[in-house]
Structure 1
Amino acid sequence: MNGFHRLAAAVPVLRVGDPEYNVERMLELYARACDEGAAIVVFPELAVTGYSCGDMFEQQALLDAADGALARFISATAGRRTIAIAGAPLRVGSRLFNAAAVFGGGRLLGLPLKEFLPNYREFYEKRQFRSVREFTGRTAVLAGQEAPAGAGLVFDCEGGPRFGVEICEDLWAVVPPSSQLAIGGAQVVFNLTAGNELVAKADFRRDLVVNQSARLSGAYVLAGAGVHESTADVVFSGHAMIAFNGRLVAENARFDRQSSIVFADVKPAWTDSLRAYWTSFNDAASAATVTRVPLPAAPESPDLRHARLAPRPFVPSDAAVRSERCHEIFSIQTAGLAKRIEHTGAKRLVVGVSGGLDSTLALLVCAKTCELLGLPPPFICAVTMPGFGTSRRTRGNAAKLAAKLGAELRTIPIGPAVLRHFKDIGHDPARHDVVYENAQARERTQILMNLANAEGGLLVGTGDLSEIALGWSTFNGDHMSMYNVNGSVPKTLIRYLVEYHASVSEPDLAAVLRDVARTPVSPELLPGAQHTESLIGRYELHDFFLYYFMKFGETPEDLALLAEQAFGDEARPEEIRDALAIFLRRFIGQQFKRNAAPDGPKVGTLALSPRGDWRCPSDLSPAVWCR
């Protein structure tokens, strides 16, 4: 069991006013959805008849034809587990409603009705249809079957997903019905739409879908009427898309003249995880009035090829978006540091620079902050402290960076002081153990702290979110500072931040920054090459685990499954499981360091500040996660 369900949005070829033909085309797409293992497939608004029938909706012949064609469609789902949602007209007494027929397994399961009927400019739905507000019953009959009907229907598949339906204009309303459906428990909302196409309207529609999925912390699936609707006055494009929690995960090509279908694998349990800690959502939950419609279990995704799991979830894949995010992160970091300088009256910024990624980013933030506050570059005191494992490459890059940024550079070798300390505590320098490594880290922090005091300055921390999660730092060593600008920036993103700064810097500085970005991650505490990722596993894996562990509360088993799907051939299953074991053991066991973390700005949705996002006992048993 993987907990994912495959959702589909289908746009069929149709003939306006020909239900038999339309259902034939829909059955073809339904069969494809079944073959692909979809749990639910949604078709456009009034897809059985075509949306653009106009006053012909008042003709009983069309309604009867639609009823018969839909009955055949419903019968064809017998023995199938995939649920279908198709738009059709529903007459109840003298009133005609714009309905979404929900059916599967040969049965009509429910009839959500449209609430908001557009009646402006090119739309005149109130000419033919009535709002669900005029529906007074609890059930209705369509295609020869009776089923729950009206507003506020939440379909509850055994074991998930729970879903609701709204129709076209409902999404565009000030308070969309989908908001109430979500408050009532729906994890997924399907929208059958027939919005015509205008210049830039697709962008607006996409934004609505994506933003509503974020507002609901769930999935939103939209299927739009296609190009074969009437083009007498308007054109339809067949826009279909699927969004989850503010991210577009699937979208078709508009104006396709063939039938089309898009899929996405979604894990409904993630919605419950997100809503569990979102107190504002839960505060509104009592306001919803919904009717639960129990359904049999929906099929799980046969695989996760439509899950679109990003191996680097903290890093936007689109280059333009990535650059924009990098600029924003720099702005947040500099704003935080600027406020701290103003509040403390600091006379200098002191930062230890090693020539590695983290200290490079911290130095860049210091330089940007000085620029923001109109302070001269020498306001920054950059300190390089070569030790027993310092390489010529990193030391050289540290010096070049300080020079290019105009900071004062001080070089204070730590070797003599550490050797004296070893002598004082009776430690053999030939023993390259934890004492050997931690003594160097603490000596560096002591130098920086005392130097900051001597200068009336502020010691800027460099440790990143990934290191904080793993506890990959020395307690009361590099773990400590007076203000840590990198504390909520993951390692995988820092590399891109440095590369981004290189892209907007003059050539000489850019060359140094790019060399830093290419340098293997290392604490440089032992003589010779010491690569962190060879000891604890790749940071790409750790950041992946961190994201899904914190955001969705995933189990160890599912973390491994997700990583195998996301990384594919980039990581062997045994490498993933070894890294996961290290991540879980260290994440739980190193909480004591996080409980004493310095202040620093939050830049993303995930952070580990003990005063904000993550509060956990430092003596928690790891048994549940590390069996």
Structure 2
Amino acid sequence: MTDRLMIALAQINPTVGDLTGNVSRIKDRYLEAVAQGADLVLFSEMVVSGYPPEDLVLKPFFLDKVEAAVQSLVELTAGRDTGMIVGAPWRVDGKRHNAALLIVDGEISAVRCKHELPNYGVFDEKRVFEPGALLGPVDFKGVRIGIPICEDMWFPDVTECLEECGAEMLLVPNGSPFEVDKSDQRMQNAVARVTESGLPLAYVNQVGGQDELVFDGGSFVLNGDCSMAVQMPACEEAMELTTWERGKKGWACQSGAKVAPPERLENMYRVVVLGLRDYVNKNGFPGIILGMSGGIDSALSAAVAVDALGADRVHCVMMPSPYTSRESLEDASSACALLGVSLDEVGIKPAMDAFQQMFAPLFGDRAADVTEENIQARSRGLTLMALSNKMGYMVLTTGNKSEMSVGYATLYGDMCGGYSVLKDIYKTDVFRLCRWRNEGKPVTWKDIMLGPDGPVMPERIISKPPSAELRPDQKDEDSLPPYDVLDDILYCLVEGEKSVEEIVARGHDPQTVQRVWRMLDLAEYKRRQAPPGVKITSRAFGRDRRYPITNAFRKIL
């Protein structure tokens, strides 16, 4: 039995399905920890396969490969004093589990399976895994270690069982995706488990983008008195060697590095940068291309792209129509100059004229309406997709959550693309993020953000009234309520699931609330065809919020 443990906390960035790459990352961190004198290395949930592997785990062939990958880790530990805890999808008695494996000196010395399987929001683990039994702690060098896995920490049962069975500390591997304010929830749950059990707790979270999810790291250690011993950085890979000692009151972790969590806007910005970077790089795109309109959404999307990938991998295209203002052309050019990216111009008037001629026999003398506006948007979408096909760059969509909520977007037009960084960001937050980023890049970002240190767009882009510029003198507020009103109503409907009466009680006009609710429901068919994008809120469109397209439930006041 030992009275001192050196535990390395490793938050790394795995890729779902890249067993070779993930194992290589694990091995590198493990050997680094060995060199530093670690006794044990704690990795995140399902780090071997990447998380979430979704229906990949339904393939027996995939699980065979996972077992072979784990065996290479087992062999690495042979003859060494340093153990590791890794997460992996694992078969026990023929059943699939989300498991944590304790690997020590050339063998898997213990397996613990996740008991609380999340089945809400973006999670559907009950589809693919069996819940693990409530088991006691594992033994490592005479120390009884409890290993709750992610969701197991959000409820008291697993910790209660471990504490009653003699656990001396809790080591928690996690795959917890980012949401605004979620770090507070994690901490509150960790504090609750520590308070209930009196046991110190180490929380290791995955980092990196996986499709629409971004895992933001931020691993930490709480001692038995709920004091913070260690706080690791957000949104970047890191490893922290922690020192634990047994005293009269049990085990405690010595105070170590504490990196303050980012503030709300910085946190959101870092997450969308990380999400885009990993989506592009993990899927093998050489870069991205986007339409630069001279408006605020495309300007912010371009800034995120440059911060994520560097100016040399971002390609902007201005696609003016007869309704595009000189001001928009100037603003697009100025933003691209500040970002250091090239700006090409492809006018869409020839396409508009061609479509007008094509449809003249069928349209007859019908007056111009939204049809012609959509033709403009689709001409731009066609242009971007053609350039994407020819050059190999992924089209980055620039629409925000406010627009996607009410259908203020054109299918096969401005909705064309492979990914969106603003999909889950309301317009009012788009304005806030632009002002925040325009103040300059924080000093701590020097090595992780590739864009300019100073402003990324001219002030006029932020201050002018938003407009799609699909007809003369068009403004967004011709069709929509003011964005501060719209976004508050949408937040109540989407994140809050509030009734019309509750929203009206906040001071909103009843007819406006009813209108917004109707637009939200009617646009469901568009959202089903939208590209993926970074999840920011607790109710991102897609797997978080699943509403029927055919839906006759609309309250009439």
Relative to the length of structure 1, the TM-score reads 0.45
Relative to the length of structure 2, the TM-score reads 0.50
Larger radius of gyration: 1
